[in-house]
Every structure is written in structure tokens, then in C-alpha cells.
Copies of this chain bind each other. A is one copy, B any other.
Amino acid sequence: MPGVRLALAQLNATVGDLPGNERKIADAIAAAKEAGAQLVLFPELAITGYPPEDLLFKEHFLAAARAAVDRLAALTDGIAAVIGFPERDDDVYNAAAVCSGGEVVGVYRKLRLPNYGVFDELRYFQSGTEPMVVEVDGVPVGITICEDIWVPGAPLTEEALAGARLVVNLSASPFSAGKAMQRERMLAQRARDSLCAVAFCALVGGQDELVFDGSSVVLDHRGRPIARAPQMAEHLLVCDVDTDAPAAARLKDSRPRATLRVERPRVTHLPPIRTGATITSPSPEHRVGGELFEPLEELSEVYAALVLGTRDYVEKNGFGQVTFGLSGGIDSALVALVAVDALGADRVKPVTMPSRYSSAGTRSDAERLAENLGCELLTLPIAEPMDAFDAVLAETFASRDADLTEENLQARIRGNLLMALSNKFGWLVLTCGNKSEMSTGYSTLYGDSAGGFAVIKDVPKTLVYRLVEHRAHRDPQNPVPEEIVTRPPSAELRHEQRDDDSLPPYDVLDPILEGYVEEDLGRDQLVALGLPAADVERVIRLVDLAEYKRRQMPPGIKITPRAFGRDRRLPIVNRYGG
């Protein structure tokens, strides 16, 4: 029995862009044929982008998606293709069209629908019921979609038992730090458990709060990666798979046989496909496997996700330039670095908006950073509007001391100025708040949080520092003035202000937040981890109280296992403390 040459089209689809996505898929089919592939794979819902959310409630959207799949199927002459799309039949299914010889020869329906974290698939889809195997040039191939493979058992196990030598998975798997390798380890275990090769073809690109990191990979039946696409970029990964080896391995490894004895779903077998592709692999002339890109290490991976998420939000929404307040602090420095790497310096328009509380140090650091990055820096002082607001409010506030009100006013004047630039020039406003601030409400609603995209909203402050240092030292000529990293953090909204007047030090705060926000630990559990009880209680209260602010924050890139937004859904009216 021969092997098979695969092409995995790791595409950056855009939600709702049916013509654009169709074009990309058509191009990839052509390129895969050119590369001699017998089977080309596409990501989950490649035709619509992922997640299409409530677009799936529109009959005309579903009909248009289906029409695109039929047109693409017509291109599958001399190759088989598996394309993710929403299938409208008696109900709606998250499906994969198996196309060959110019037509759709079968449709696989995702069995396992995720409805946790950022996923709401049970809102939209009916589950499929049958695993599916299709023979491509004599090689039995099992089909699965994303979540199907995250849970042991059906459909993968059934497909392997029904003879599949290779199981393919069409995926749209959102990034969080370290997830790509965790995912690959899981896939390796599935391959080993069922003694079949696994080809994982993933979406790449930013979509609102999510980044899809790609990380498509092919593993042999022993779980060893034999081809891997780069992370965070489009790629057509071509790979030759030895499909005799899994069959041979099963002769001597009887573990999967035991599974045969329990009651299992029926497996659909499609009619065999003959692609007539010119190359049947592996052949003596070429090796099993394909390109094998190294996975990114921890900080590079997160940084690359921020760059990709920012670039795609800007470009997919059709913006030319971005703007933001460059304060001379660490947060806006990170946003500046990311924005320049994402878009190029000429599309990045930082603004310094000094007040009487801005130190000479932060101002000159902002200027040096902008200069080092090659960005033009606008200066808009806020003293005049501050005085004007003070005058309007003087009578009403006559008997009251200055307090947070006046600090917030400064932040809101800055927000207004950035929004005015946005209105006048069409620039997208980026915000610079980090996750530690987002969690504790240490920000001004409509002030520093005003903008269209919150680049680092899911990045804890301690990680902000690490990312800036990482990026700074990647450059032979470090563009980041040393003081930006070493100066104690301050909002500079009153004299001598420091973040740690209001918050625990960040190396205490961030572990509390990780436990409370990402792991749902309670007060007692956090204290048992060795965190200071008084800080734990204060932070829990701050996080709970800030829910109303977070509800009005712009979207930003998820990089942790639980971001704010659709990933963490808490009521505003909530009297439960902790």
C-alpha cells in the first residue's frame, strides 16, 4: 500500500469575507496540485472564517458559503480537498466537504462541539453522529474537525479501527501562551493511542480578541512530528506520509483492538477516490516528511501573537494608521514596539500629551523611543482643556477637595484628543492598558481606555516588562531607553504618584490575579498558596468592582488561558465577593 502526499493550507481567513476566503482556498488548491499533493487540507470553517458567530443565523450567509464550496469543488481535478464550511441541511453542522473529481463527494459533520471558554458552538450547530473514512489513492483517511480530536475516543478511535492510516484534523484553535506545544503533545498522544498518522491543519490570523497561531503539524503514528508549519504566518505545508507503517505497527500492538469490543458509532465509508496525482509517495526518490519549522520559544511566541493580532485587526478593519498616547512608560513602549513591527513606522502615529504632572524624564523617553523607532511624535499639551474643565466645574465642586475626579479628567482629555485625531484622520486608536490594570480597574473609563483596540489588555504587567526587554534586545541597537524599564511605574496624574500607592507590587499582584481570574481560586486557596491575605482580599474586591469598566473596554488580544471578554463572563450586578 502506498503512502500519500499531503498539503496543509494554513490560511488566514477573514470572517465573513466569502469571496476573499474562496480565492485563498482556490489558490492553495492550485499550489497543492503544483506540489504534487494528492490531498489538500484546509482549516475549520475556512470558507467563512472563525468564529462567524451570529452570521450563522442568516440563511443567505449559509447559502453563499455552500455555493462557494461547490465552486471550489469544481477545481479538485487531480487532487482531493477537505474544506471546512457550515453545512445547512436539516439543521446546521460544522462540516468538512470532501471534494474530488470536481464535486463534493461527501460531508463530514463535527461530532464534538465546544461550548466553553471562548466557544459557543452549541448556540449554532447540531452535532454530527458518524465518524468518516475516505480512501484516497488507496489510503484510508479519517476525518475530524478541531474539538473532535481534543477528547479521546470517537471519532478518531473509530476511524482508526475502521482502517484509517492517517487521520486529518481541520482546526481553528485560539492561541494562548504555550498552547501550540501543549496541542502538539496532545496530538502526538492521539497518534500513539490509535497508531495512525495525524495531520493537523490550522487557521492562522487575528479575529477580534482571538489570535489563531497556525502551528499546523503532521505526526507519524509514533507521535513524532514529521512536518511543521511556522507559527503566526500563512503557509502551505507539504508532507509525505508513510501509511504502511501504521498498519504494520498494528499487527504487533494489540491495544487498539480492545476498543473494538465496546459499542461504537457506525463509520461512514465514502467511495474510494483516485486523484491521478502524478506523484505517489513515499517513493525511493524522496523522504517521508516535509519542512519542519521550530516552534517559537515563550516570549517570541507571545510577542508574535501581539504583532499578528494587531496587524490583522488594523488591516481587516481597513485602517491605514494607528495612534496612541506615548507616555514614556513601559506599557505604551510595548504598544509602540508591537505597532511598528505590525505595521511599519510610517503607519504609527504616537502622541505625547504632557500635563503639569508629566516628568521631564518620561517626556524625553517618549521622544527618544519614537525617534529610535522612526515614528513622528505629535505633541498635544492638555493644560488648557484642564483649566477649562476646572472653570466649568468650579461652582459645582466648590466645597470639595481635589480627588480622583481631577485625575480622571486628565486621562479623559487625552482620550478625547486621541479620538479627535481618529475622527479627523481616520487613525485607529490603540489603548495601552495591561491585564493587571484591566483586572483591578486601575484605569480611567473613556480616558486611557478609550480606543478601538487594546493591544496588551491580556498581558500582565510583569510580562509587559519581559516582553519589552525581549524585543529590545532582539535589536542590535536597542531602541528602548533604559529608564523606561527601570523607572517605578506611575500614571503621572498627580505629583509623585506611583502605582504601588494604590496596588500591591506587581510581583505580588500578578500571581493573585492569575489565581483569581484565570483559575477561579477563592480567598482561602490563594492564601494557601502563600499569597498575603490582606493583598488577596483587596485584589479580589478590586477585580469584582471593575467588572463594569471591563464591559466597556475595547477588544484586545487573548494570550492567557482566560482573557477578559467572551472568555470570562461575570455579571456586573454581583454581590458575591470572591
Contacts and interface: CB of A to CB of B under 8 A. Distances in A.
Given A61-B576, A208-B572, A396-B421, A415 B116 contact: no
A245 interface: no
A388 B384 contact: yes
A382 B416 CA distance: 14
Contact of A313 (B16, B416, B553, B573): B573
Nearest to A407: B423
Contacts of A191: none
A436 interface: no
A57 interface: yes
Residue among A123, A416, A421 with max Cβ neighbours from chain B (10 Å): A416
A126 to B, nearest CB: 12
Nearest to A415: B446
Interface string A453-489: 0000000000000000000000000000000000000
A446 B450 contact: yes
Interface stretch (A270-278, A397-405, A505-513): A397-405
B412 A419 contact: yes
Interface in A530-571: 548, 551-555, 568-571
A242 interface: no
A575 interface: yes
B574 A16 contact: yes
A263 interface: no
Interface in A355-400: 378, 380-382, 384-385, 387-389, 391-393, 396-397, 400
Contacts of A576: 15-18, 55, 61
B380 A385 contact: no
Given A116-B123, A381-B392, A20 B575 contact: yes
Interface string A169-207: 000000000000000000000000000000000000011
Interface stretch (A46-54, A82-90, A157-165): A46-54
A424 interface: yes
A502 interface: no
A409 B450 CA distance: 14
A389 B420 contact: yes
Given A396-B378, A573-B14, A60 B578 contact: yes
Given A53-B570, A446-B419, A568-B54, A548 B452 contact: yes
A522 interface: yes
A417 interface: yes
B524 A571 contact: no
Contacts of A575: 14-17, 20, 316
A419 B445 contact: yes
A424 B412 contact: no
A15 B405 CA distance: 30
A252 interface: no
A80 interface: no
Nearest to A544: B16
A59 B18 CA distance: 43
B555 A554 contact: no
A54 B416 contact: no
A120 interface: yes
Given A115-B122, A412-B415, A551-B555, 9 more contacts: A16-B575, A53-B570, A122-B122, A208-B572, A381-B392, A382-B392, A385-B385, A389-B417, A403-B424
List 6 A-B pairs, minimum CB-CB distance, nearest first. A16-B576, A17-B575, A388-B388, A405-B423, A60-B522, A384-B388
Interface of A: 14-18, 20, 51-55, 57-61, 115-116, 120, 122-123, 206-208, 312-313, 316-317, 378, 380-382, 384-385, 387-389, 391-393, 396-397, 400, 403-405, 408-409, 412-413, 415-417, 419-421, 423-424, 445-446, 450, 452, 520, 522, 524-525, 548, 551-555, 568-576, 578
